[in-house]
Amino acid sequence: MSLKTKKDELFDKAQAEYGKKLDRRLSLADLEDQVSRMEQMKTDPPVEAPKLVPAKVQNVITGNIFEYNELFAGNPDLQVIEWAEAEDAVN
């Protein structure tokens, strides 16, 4: 004799339609809010930010400014001062 509560129905709906598990300890209002946000995100997915790559770097010791090169990656003496959108960004 298991009766489904509104929370159980929301939990099952979120799991079936969106593949998400909700926290059953939350209040009914919180669960309804989460499900409504999932519905909205399904219809209007968030806009993905463009991928940025460094364009110019500055040496923090000398102050010299250079165009970025992949060889500079991980150099602790260089600080990125200008970013550009990646040309090969996959959408």
Phi, psi of 77 (to 5 degrees): -85, -5
For the chain, the distance separating the N- and C-terminal CA atoms, rounded to the nearest angstrom, is 50
Alpha helices of the chain — where are they, by DSSP H?
6-13, 28-43
Residue-wise pLDDT tens digits, 24-78: 899 999 999 999 999 998 888 778 888 999 999 999 999 999 999 999 999 999 9
pLDDT, position 2: 74
Listed residue (21, 2, 1, 19) closest to 11, CA to CA: 21
